[in-house]
């Protein structure tokens, strides 16, 4: 399936689910457009677009030519790609081709999704999509409720840190909590929860600093309230980074790309 870069992302996901094409169902409810998905290697709840992208059609602003890059040339990594990492701004994504599985089963690898599905033995794509949307709504991570002040955010502001096993062990020791969330990665490294680190560095859900603050439902979301400016968001993010660095020795990396503000 090929989609133009300007297509709304969630509408595309809904279309694939309605047609029984598996591969994107857990990426339901993410705002934005198709063209952003390969740049960020968008992912959530056990799926990321790198799992299904076959090729990206893009304008090379350096040469002025249009190229079709196979997935192998996209340099996909955790919330990263060649478009974002190596030469940001060089490529303008025009369209993306996804390889989906007709009549395939949904991906149910996250405990939250499985729990929301109620342990169904053979959940449908539609049921999985609805489960993901329900979870995201509970975290104010969809845009369909204009009365929810928490929706005015950049989503998950920081990447979950991925550390060498020894470094993760040191963080666990500093935390003094053996139940600290950690997930082993295929390469032997360990992923930690940025939200957990922020909370245990002394911040609480809903905490505010003037016109910005944390979501009351999700510690990883920085919310812009009335009157907030980009500089307020950046300053608050730096406070979170400094606190986590001081408490755990972990540097949180912002997920959004900063333009004109450092």
Contact criterion met (CB below 8 Å) for 190 and 237: no
Closest CA to 215 of 160, 156, 132: 156
Contact criterion met (CB below 8 Å) for 34 and 42: no
Residue 105 token pair: 């089963």
Contact criterion met (CB below 8 Å) for 25 and 17: yes
Active-site hit among 130, 199, 207, 255: 255
Is 65 part of the annotated catalytic residue set? no
Residue 177 φ then ψ, to 5°: -140, 100
Active-site hit among 28, 81, 140, 156: 156
Per-residue pLDDT of the chain (262 residues; tens, 9 = 90+): 999 999 999 999 999 999 999 999 999 999 899 999 999 999 999 999 999 999 999 999 999 999 999 999 999 999 999 999 888 889 999 999 999 999 999 999 988 999 999 977 889 999 999 999 999 999 888 887 788 888 888 788 999 999 999 999 999 999 999 899 999 999 999 999 999 999 999 999 999 999 999 999 989 999 999 999 999 999 999 999 999 999 999 999 998 888 775 5
State the Cα–Cα distance between residues 247 and 253, nearest whole angstrom. 16
Predicted pLDDT at 133: 96
Is 207 part of the annotated catalytic residue set? no
State the Cα–Cα distance between residues 157 and 223, nearest whole angstrom. 10
Domains of the chain: 2-138 (3.30.465.10), 149-248 (3.90.78.10)
Of the CA atoms within 13 Å of residue 12, those in its CB half-sphere come to 25
SS3 of 245, please?
helix
- DSSP per-residue letters across 20-69: TEESSGGGTT--SBTTHHHHHT-EETTEEGGGTEEEEEEEETTTTEEEEE
Predicted pLDDT at 147: 83
Within 10 angstroms of residue 53's Cβ, the number of other Cβ atoms is 22
Is 79 part of the annotated catalytic residue set? yes
Contact criterion met (CB below 8 Å) for 46 and 110: yes
Helix (H) or strand (E) holding 133: helix 125-138
Active-site hit among 57, 79, 101, 247: 79
Predicted pLDDT at 88: 85
**Helices 230-248 and 165-175, packing angle to 10 deg:** 90
Within 10 angstroms of residue 129's Cβ, the number of other Cβ atoms is 24
pLDDT digits (tens, 9 = 90+) for 99-140: 999 999 999 998 899 999 997 788 999 999 999 999 999 988
Contact criterion met (CB below 8 Å) for 110 and 26: yes
Cα 67–chain centre separation: 27
**Taking the C-alpha atoms of 52, 55, 57 and 61 in order, what is their torsion angle to the nearest 10 degrees?**
100
Predicted pLDDT at 177: 92
């Amino acid at each position: 399936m090929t989609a133009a870069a300007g297509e709304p992302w969630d509408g595309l996901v809904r279309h694939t689910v309605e047609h029984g094409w598996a591969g994107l169902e857990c990426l339901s409810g993410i705002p934005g457009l198709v063209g952003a998905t390969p740049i960020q290697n968008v992912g959530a709840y056990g799926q990321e677009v790198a799992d299904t992208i076959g090729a990206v059609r893009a304008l090379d602003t350096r040469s002025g030519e249009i190229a079709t890059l196979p997935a192998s040339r996209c340099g996909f990594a955790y919330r990263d790609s060649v478009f974002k990492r190596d030469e940001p701004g060089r490529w303008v994504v025009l369209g993306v081709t996804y390889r989906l599985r007709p009549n395939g089963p949904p991906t149910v690898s996250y405990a939250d999704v499985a729990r929301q599905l109620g342990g169904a033995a053979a959940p449908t794509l539609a049921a999985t999509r609805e489960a993901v949307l329900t979870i995201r709504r509970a975290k104010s991570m969809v845009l369909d409720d204009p009365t929810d002040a928490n929706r005015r955010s950049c989503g998950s502001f920081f990447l979950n840190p991925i550390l060498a096993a020894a470094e993760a062990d040191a963080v666990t020791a500093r935390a003094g909590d053996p139940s600290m969330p950690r997930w082993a990665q295929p390469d032997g490294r360990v992923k930690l929860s940025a939200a957990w680190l922020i909370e245990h560095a002394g911040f609480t859900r809903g905490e505010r600093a003037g016109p910005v603050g944390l979501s009351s439902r999700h510690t990883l979301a920085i919310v812009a309230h009335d009157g907030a400016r980009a500089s307020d968001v950046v300053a608050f993010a730096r406070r979170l980074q400094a606190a986590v660095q001081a408490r755990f020795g972990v540097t949180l990396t912002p997920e959004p790309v900063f333009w004109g503000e450092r």
